[in-house]
Amino acid sequence: MTANEIIRKKRDGHPLTSDEMKFIINGYVEGTVPDYQVSSFFMATFFRGMNKEETAEFTRLMLHSGDIIDLSHIPGVKVDKHSTGGVGDKISLPLAPIVAACGVPVPMISGRGLGHTGGTLDKLESIPGFRTNLTIDEYKNVIAELGLVMIGQTKEIAPADKKMYALRDVTSTVECIPLIAGSIMSKKLAEGIDALVLDVKTGRGAFMQTHEQSVELAQALVGIGTSFGKETVGFITDMNQPLGNAIGNWNEVVESVECLRGRSVPDVMELTCVLGGAMVMLGKKAGSLAEGIERCKEAVKNGKAYVKFLELVKRQGGDISFLENVEKYPRSKYSETITAPASGFVTSIDSLELGFSGIMLGAGRTKVDDVIDPKAGILLKKKAGDAVKQGEPIAEIFTDNKEILAKTAQRVANAFSVGAAKPASSPLIISVVDKNGVTAFENYR
Amino acid sequence: MTANEIIRKKRDGHPLTSDEMKFIINGYVEGTVPDYQVSSFFMATFFRGMNKEETAEFTRLMLHSGDIIDLSHIPGVKVDKHSTGGVGDKISLPLAPIVAACGVPVPMISGRGLGHTGGTLDKLESIPGFRTNLTIDEYKNVIAELGLVMIGQTKEIAPADKKMYALRDVTSTVECIPLIAGSIMSKKLAEGIDALVLDVKTGRGAFMQTHEQSVELAQALVGIGTSFGKETVGFITDMNQPLGNAIGNWNEVVESVECLRGRSVPDVMELTCVLGGAMVMLGKKAGSLAEGIERCKEAVKNGKAYVKFLELVKRQGGDISFLENVEKYPRSKYSETITAPASGFVTSIDSLELGFSGIMLGAGRTKVDDVIDPKAGILLKKKAGDAVKQGEPIAEIFTDNKEILAKTAQRVANAFSVGAAKPASSPLIISVVDKNGVTAFENYR
């Protein structure tokens, strides 16, 4: 067996055996198969794909390249959520404490902002003192104590994925569903979970821009989860406009705290309660999705979810006084209000453009070693479907970088479309993928 | 511009600009674009192909990575031939002196055996003393003196091709028509030629197994030649059975000498005279292919071609006494005769199997640094269409390696099919590709 023969087999459309997958993946990790063969293999895979067995094997090899955390000593069905990434997507922040407050342990390992999308770690780290770099032992202690923990990737988890992702990133082989699915699932399966809920974004601000692609990715992810004996449910959700009103790390923490305190941010709470409801259902604390959603709403109403979040922040080193009094947080040096160019209705808000605008303001990175400004970001005053009057504020931007203020204000203004007619409302949660197949969300509930 | 963006553009099916091609190819040669990006680019090219302009640019960049030999001081239209490689394909040996004897200068730079096919250099080097590693200056002197020279690749010629071929060879990106065409043509265009005849093999013993693929390759080659202002004609020829009766380096020299001395080996002489006729036509020493073919036959008949070959061998250091008395050459320690399993007709001879059998006997390499045994090989006593009686010799094999004798005899026996009915004869020269398109050979003459 040679790497060259295996690449040829993939190139010519033949499925690979488990041993052949092992030869390439383990060989790369161990240094016996060089990067120039692996990049050629990935490009062949981009064109030829992987079948279910190959995708599961690819995931298994990456998973076993590192430690698999054992949480079996912790009672209950451990459930996590993963989102493929969006703009204004702070859902993990209210979701995790809500689900934990319902009695379902949530061991969550998150990522940083990628491309135009934000990352849960960057948001949590905007809370002064909050530590996301816990050791595996600390991680186990916190989940055991609180039923909740939120940390970042550690070097023990799926090191093969890290090495391969870095190679894919510079060889234009990122956008390949089995490779994406294996990368996501190898990290999730290492967390010690029993079940998983997926939020697969679709539309303008998502990595998958069509419903069809998003379903394909969800099916790959659910297929892997199922083959590892973990119940996995994927929701395809809309990312044509940002989630909620806040974009930027601290802004999103504030909005999350407001939601946990009971203020209604409709789309954020709808998505939080549906994903959370599914987690509570998979965690055996509800008999149906509808009952799970009710449990989540109760956990907000009775204040338990907010208390759980404060406990978590405190336990991981964060200063909760900033959450209890958000006005205490420093403010950006510069801000500018964007106003409606005409009267009518907001017909759309381009979330991709707002994602990139947020990065320009300082809320994200263009290079790996860029430092994030946690205060920087955007607050939306209007969302798609809202009526506006000419000159009325539609958004406000915040930054410490005076130079880019005017240019970014223009970009944010251009991201809004205003028309005479009220746009038809489109559903936030579109469809559900589980081991039985794809169902429209309205029929799934 | 980044290599990653260029790879993505090719991956997504968009044609590349000249600057983008330059960024990748020159960057690889200069060491600014790493091999793992180039292999991913090649695999994307395998799936997406290259258009005419990209293929020409790819060739141009490889050509200009080294020296382009200037033969403009030598009078006449310089014409070379290139074959894509076959089994028993010794055509260059009789062809080059025949064409030179007709007054057309032939500057020929050849390759070594590749895979199951033989190489002109290995054949020439089986003549004691023959030097193929002339310097560029020696090359120029020999062609000026004799109107003929036959050497191997030098390090000055298209070094980029050498580096890229080595990478393609280990990343399963060899079988890609624009990459093959660019590799061949960059080396041929560096020789100092004015026109080129191509022998594109098709069938079981060829790299291109279908007529369609062979035409596609011929069109790519002719397209490049034309775009560089060199008249180029490609012949698609049959490689379902070996050419002639001899396989193995010295065996093929002997058969070539016999042809030059006027013994009829029908398929070898037919192909030699057609390819040679085309070269004489392109070299302006004949007004038509038919006239060119006549000139070639005359050059054999009047002995001038054989004399030219002796001059060449002598001038490049070879001992012509072995050509004048082939019996003087050492013989293999072991030989075995293969006989017909039944009476009837030889219906086919598997040239791919005979190619591999030749390598086993010692006539080729399985690794780059294997040493070739020039005496080793196969002599066919019968060809497809010949009548045979049970027990009658159909082939004889020669080797110094006793261990593989019985096994190889079996393999050679299995390569012959014998049936009751005489098979329909199939043409040796199938079609012709030139700048006007594809024509069946029978209509081209």
Please judge whether B171 and A37 are an interchain contact, meaning their C-beta atoms are less than 8 angstroms apart: yes
Cα separation, A3 vs A115, in Å, equals 32
Q: In terms of Cα–Cα distance, which of B315, B310, B283 is closest to B139? A: B315
Give me the count of residues in chain A.
445
* Structure tokens given for A397: 């931007």
Question: Per the domain annotation, does B59 fall within a domain?
Answer: no
CB-CB neighbors (< 8 A) of A5 in chain B: 172
CA atoms within 13 A on the CB side of B75: 3
Asked if residues A41 and A24 have their Cβ atoms less than 8 Å apart, the reply is yes
Angle value at C-alpha B181, between B178 and B185, nearest 5 degrees: 140
Predicted confidence at residue A365, as pLDDT, reads: 85
CATH number of the domain enclosing A412: 3.90.1170.30
**pLDDT exceeds cutoff 80 at B115:** no
One DSSP character per residue, B138-199 reads: HHHHHHHHHSEEEEE--TTS-HHHHHHHHHHHTTT----HHHHHHHHHHHHHTTT-SEEEEE
pLDDT at B273 over 80: yes
Same domain for B434 and B377? no
User: What's the mean pLDDT in B203-219?
Assistant: 93
Nearest residue to B23 (alpha-carbon basis) of B12, B9, B13: B9
**Band of the pLDDT at A207, cuts 50, 70, 90?**
confident
**Mean pLDDT across B199-214:** 92
Domain count, chain B: 3
pLDDT tens-digit map of A42-85? 999 999 999 999 999 999 999 999 999 999 999 999 999 999 98
Give me the percent of chain A exceeding a pLDDT of 90.
91
Over residues B114-130, mean pLDDT: 91
Tell me, what's the pLDDT at B331?
A: 97
Partners of A174 on chain B (C-beta within 8 Å) are none
User: Are B208 and B343 contained in the same domain?
Assistant: no
In the residue annotation, A65 being an active-site residue is answered as no
Query: Do B181 and B255 belong to one domain?
Result: yes
pLDDT score of A403 more than 70: yes
* pLDDT at residue B112, as a whole number: 84
CB contact under 8 A, A170 and B43: no
Confidence of residue B445 (pLDDT cuts 50, 70, 90): low
User: Does residue B313 sit in the same domain as residue B348?
Assistant: no
Question: Using beta carbons and an 8 Å cutoff, which residues of A are at the interface with B?
Answer: 3-5, 7-8, 11, 34-40, 42-44, 46-47, 167, 169-173
Check whether A1 has a pLDDT greater than 90: no
Q: Strand A231-238 vs strand A195-202: parallel, antiparallel, or unpaired?
A: parallel
Respond yes or no: is residue A168 known to be catalytic: yes
B43 vs A38: CB contact, 8 Å cut-off?
Answer: no
Q: Tell me if B91 sits within 8 A of B271, measured CB to CB.
A: yes
**In the numeric block, which tokens belong to residue A20?**
């052949």
Task: Tell me the count of A-B CB pairs closer than 8 A.
Answer: 76
Which residue's structure tokens are 């160019």?
A: A341
A174: nearest CA in chain B? B8
Over chain B, what is the mean pLDDT?
95
Please give the DSSP secondary-structure letter assigned to residue A403: G
**What CA–CA distance (Å, rounded) separates B98 from B308?**
8
As a 3-state breakdown, chain B gives helix, strand, coil percent values, each rounded to 5, of 45, 15, 35
CATH of the domain at A95: 3.40.1030.10
| Same domain assignment for residues B303 and B275 | yes
Residues A170 and A268 in one domain: yes
CA-only gyration radius of chain B, Å: 22
State how far the Cα of B366 lies from the Cα of B356, in Å rounded to an integer. Answer: 10
Q: Where are the alpha helices (DSSP H) in B283-350?
A: 289-301, 304-315, 321-324
The residue type found at B185 is M
Place of tokens 């060449």: B312
Interface of B with A (CB under 8 A): 3-5, 7-8, 11, 34-40, 42-44, 46-47, 167, 169-173
Cα dihedral across residues A139, A145, A147, A148: positive or negative: negative
**Same structural domain, B292 and B353:** no
B110 and B25 in a common domain:
no
Q: Cβ of B171 and A46 within 8 Å?
A: no
Q: Find how far residue B55's CA is from the centre of its chain.
A: 21
Residue B54: inside a domain, yes or no?
no
Contacts of A40 in chain B (CB under 8 A): 39-40, 42-43, 171-173
Is B71 contained in some domain? no
Cα(B119)–Cα(B112) distance, integer angstroms: 4
Closest CB to A39: pick one of B5, B40, B169. Answer: B40
In 3D space, the residue among B158, B178, B213 whose CA is nearest the CA of residue B45 turns out to be B178
Are the C-beta atoms of residues A239 and A202 closer than 8 Å to each other?
A: yes
Distance CA B84, CA B110 (A): 11
Asked whether residue B63 is assigned to any structural domain, the reply reads no
User: Does residue A165 lie in a domain region?
Assistant: yes
Indicate if A291 and A412 belong to the same structural domain: no
Lowest mean pLDDT among A84-88, A254-258, A271-275, B48-52: A84-88
| Section A214-236 average pLDDT | 97
Q: Is B339 exposed, middle or buried (0-12, 13-18, 19+ CB in 10 A)?
A: middle
Model confidence over A406-445: pLDDT tens digits? 999 999 999 999 999 999 988 999 999 999 999 999 998 6
The whole-number pLDDT of residue B63 equals: 96
Judge contact between B365 and B372, C-beta under 8 A: yes
Q: Report the pLDDT value the prediction gives residue A59, as an integer from 0 to 100.
A: 97
Provide the domain limits for residue B83.
79-324+428-444
For A40, the closest of B4, B5, B171 (CB atoms) is: B171
* Cβ count within 10 A of residue A331: 11
Among the residue ranges A273-287, B107-121, B123-137, B248-262, the one predicted with the least confidence is: B107-121
Say yes or no: A303 and A165 in one domain. yes
pLDDT digits (tens, 9 = 90+) for A348-378: 999 999 999 999 999 998 777 888 999 999 9
φ, ψ for residue A426, nearest 5 deg? -115, 145
Contacts of A98 (CB under 8 A, 6+ apart): A260, A272, A273, A276, A296, A299, A300, A305, A308
> CATH code at A31?
1.20.970.10
DSSP A11-42: HTTPPPPHHHHHHHHHHHHHTSS-HHHHHHHH
Q: Looking at residues B11-25, what average pLDDT do you find?
A: 97
Q: And the tokens for A108?
A: 């969550």
- How close A36 comes to chain B (CA, Å)? 4
Query: What distances in angstroms separate CA B50 from CA B9, B47, B162, B224, one per listed residue?
Result: 12, 10, 20, 12
Residues of chain A contacting B45 with CB distance shorter than 8 Å: none
* % pLDDT > 70, chain B: 100
End-to-end CA, chain B = 50
**Over chain A, what is the mean pLDDT?**
95
For residues A311 and B208, the model is more confident at A311
Helix (H) or strand (E) holding B379: strand B377-380
- Within A120-176, where are the H helices? 120-125, 136-146, 159-169
Longest dimension (CA), chain A: 69
Q: Are B27 and B33 in contact (CB under 8 A)?
A: yes
- What distance in Å separates the CA atoms of residue A1 and residue B132, rounded to the nearest whole number? 36
In a shared domain, residues A182 and A235: yes
pLDDT tens string B328-357? 999 999 999 999 999 999 999 999 999 999
Q: Does a structural domain hold residue B219?
A: yes
Q: Which amino acid is at B5?
A: E
Residue B212 lies in a domain: yes
**Which three-class secondary structure state does DSSP give residue B281?**
helix
Active site (annotated) includes residue A187: yes
Provide the 8-state DSSP code for B117.
B
Q: Are residues B264 and B279 in the same domain?
A: yes
Q: Alpha helices of B16-111 — where are they, by DSSP H?
A: 18-30, 35-48, 52-63, 92-101
**Cα B27 to the chain's mean position, in Å?**
31
B18 flagged as catalytic: no
Q: Is residue B96 part of a domain?
A: yes
| Number of DSSP helices (H) and strands (E) in chain B, helices first | 18, 14
Q: Stretch B66-82: mean pLDDT, rounded?
A: 97
3-state secondary structure of B439: strand
- CB-based contact B136:B6 (threshold 8 Å): no
Q: CA B120, B122, B128, B133 torsion: positive or negative?
A: positive
A196 DSSP β-pair partners: A80, A232
Interface predicted TM-score of the whole assembly (ipTM), two decimals: 0.86
Question: pLDDT digits over A262-298, tens only?
Answer: 998 999 999 999 999 999 999 999 999 999 999 999 9
Percentage of chain B beyond pLDDT 90 is: 91
